[in-house]
């Protein structure tokens, strides 16, 4: 072996990537295998993951923790200071009903906050490059700088749903044509199926896969807030009949705090529940209602193609239908032989769906 010779060095480098078993002369560190990485570790959106990718949330979760604190503190004070008195003076069913409502509220909140709302996979690098090339050719043709006769697809596509023309918009971030009712969340940087809105109170987007849990959360929270407020007032009235109003407030100062929190929050919670009840009954999303997508002002022939024409059927479709599986496979392993997508201009690594997933998504339209 000659010093400075290139042959042995090349052989050594080749042995590191060789698929054959390592020779006994190799150092132990060369035998170590690179640990497989999961897809959530290189997820392109602005999301936070916990429990090895099982929990998926938005990056801004401060308001979500405020929601947890308000529910836990208000309910805890109610069970600690009001329920013992009410259970003796009225009925033991009060803390039982309150406990059932509390656990239902917490269960639906966590289910909404920790789940995939229906994120759509981004295009693979090959699919994105091909589509960008087609769109670039389209711009050249429009500007008269292309001499070819090929006319690529435009930036929007149209599909017919129940006799209504619906446009599919191209997402420049995800490099896909979004399916109907999908939209790109600027906070999470994801395209979401049947996007309703981004809710900071639950710390997640509300979409196709978690909308029913969000609705059940705000509806049950309305009942819990009204329940606590009504029985806190009852508690104060019963005590004031025995010791006077001021003494009743001094004996149970926690009831004052509960009443204030419930009084100022019940209006917005009940109003939000009523608004989403209207949306469910007409099979609309918050995004569509705000934009006026199916408003009569856009034309006499403009109507909601997703409505079944019956309130009960619309409610059953939104609340009782099967939950579609997640499309992003965030806990799946990255295959070592699969080329990884290049990092986009914003510095976030991206990965996409397979071609079969994209074909399956558009074939279902």
- Residue 355 has a pLDDT of 37
**Do 337 and 19 meet the contact criterion of CB atoms below 8 Å apart?**
no
3-class secondary-structure state, position 71: helix
Q: Where are the domains of the chain?
A: 46-116+199-320
Sequence-distant (6+) residues with CB within 8 A of 340 are 42, 334, 349, 351
- DSSP result, 154-216: -SEEEEEETTEEEEEEEETTTTEEPPTT-EEETTTTEEETT--EEETTTTEEE-TTTHHHHHH
- Residue 151 has a pLDDT of 47
- Residue 276 has a pLDDT of 97
- Residue 2 has a pLDDT of 44
Instruction: Please tell me the distance from the alpha carbon of residue 280 to that of residue 210, in angstroms, as a whole number.
Output: 14
- Residue 104 has a pLDDT of 98
Partners of residue 167 on adjacent β-strands? 158
List the pLDDT tens digit at each of the 365 positions of the chain: 444 444 444 444 433 333 344 444 545 555 455 668 899 999 999 999 999 999 999 999 999 999 999 999 999 999 999 999 999 999 999 999 999 999 999 999 999 999 999 999 998 888 878 877 776 665 554 555 544 444 444 577 888 988 888 888 989 889 888 999 999 999 999 999 999 999 999 999 999 999 999 999 999 999 999 999 999 999 999 989 888 888 888 888 899 999 999 999 999 999 999 999 999 999 999 999 998 888 766 666 788 899 998 999 999 999 998 999 999 989 988 876 554 444 343 333 333 333 334 344 434 43
Q: Would you please indicate which residues are annotated as catalytic (active-site) residues?
A: 199
Output the pTM of the full model.
0.78
- Residue 96 has a pLDDT of 97
Instruction: Please tell me the distance from the alpha carbon of residue 196 to that of residue 215, in angstroms, as a whole number.
Output: 11
Relative to beta strand 190-192, strand 197-199 is unpaired
Q: How many Cα atoms occupy the beta-carbon half-sphere of 91 within 13 Å?
A: 6
């Amino acid at each position: 072996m000659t010093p400075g010779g290139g042959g042995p060095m090349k052989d050594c480098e080749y042995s590191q990537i060789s698929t054959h078993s390592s020779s006994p002369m190799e150092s132990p560190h060369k035998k170590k295998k690179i640990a497989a990485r999961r897809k959530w570790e290189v997820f392109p959106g602005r999301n936070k993951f916990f429990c090895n990718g099982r929990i998926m949330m938005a990056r801004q979760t401060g308001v979500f923790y405020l929601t947890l604190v308000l529910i836990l503190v208000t309910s805890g004070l109610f069970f600690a200071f009001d329920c013992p008195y009410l259970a003796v003076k009225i009925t033991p069913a009060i803390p039982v009903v309150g406990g059932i409502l509390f656990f239902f509220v917490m269960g639906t909140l966590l289910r909404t906050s920790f789940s995939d709302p229906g994120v759509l996979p981004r295009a693979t690098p090959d699919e994105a490059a091909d589509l960008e090339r087609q769109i670039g050719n389209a711009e050249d043709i429009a500007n008269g700088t292309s001499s070819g006769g090929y006319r690529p697809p435009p930036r929007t596509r149209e599909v017919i749903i129940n006799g209504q023309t619906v446009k599919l918009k191209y997402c420049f971030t995800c490099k896909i044509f979004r399916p109907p009712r999908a939209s790109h969340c600027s906070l999470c940087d994801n395209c979401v199926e049947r996007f309703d809105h981004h809710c900071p109170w639950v710390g997640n987007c509300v979409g196709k896969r978690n909308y029913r849990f969000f609705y059940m959360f705000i509806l049950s929270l309305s009942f819990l807030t009204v329940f606590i407020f009504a029985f806190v007032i009852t508690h104060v009235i019963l005590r004031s009949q025995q010791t006077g109003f001021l003494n009743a407030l001094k004996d149970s100062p926690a009831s004052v705090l509960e009443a204030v929190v419930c009084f100022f929050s019940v209006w917005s919670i009940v109003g939000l529940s009523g608004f989403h009840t209207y949306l469910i009954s007409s099979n609309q999303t918050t995004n569509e209602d705000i934009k006026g997508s199916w408003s009569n002002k856009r034309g006499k022939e403009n109507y909601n193609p997703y409505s079944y024409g019956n309130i009960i059927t619309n409610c059953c479709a939104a609340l009782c239908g099967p939950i579609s599986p997640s499309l992003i496979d965030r806990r799946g392993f990255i295959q070592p032989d699969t080329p990884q997508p290049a990092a986009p201009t914003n510095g976030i690594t991206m990965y996409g769906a397979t071609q079969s997933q994209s074909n399956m998504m558009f074939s279902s339209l």
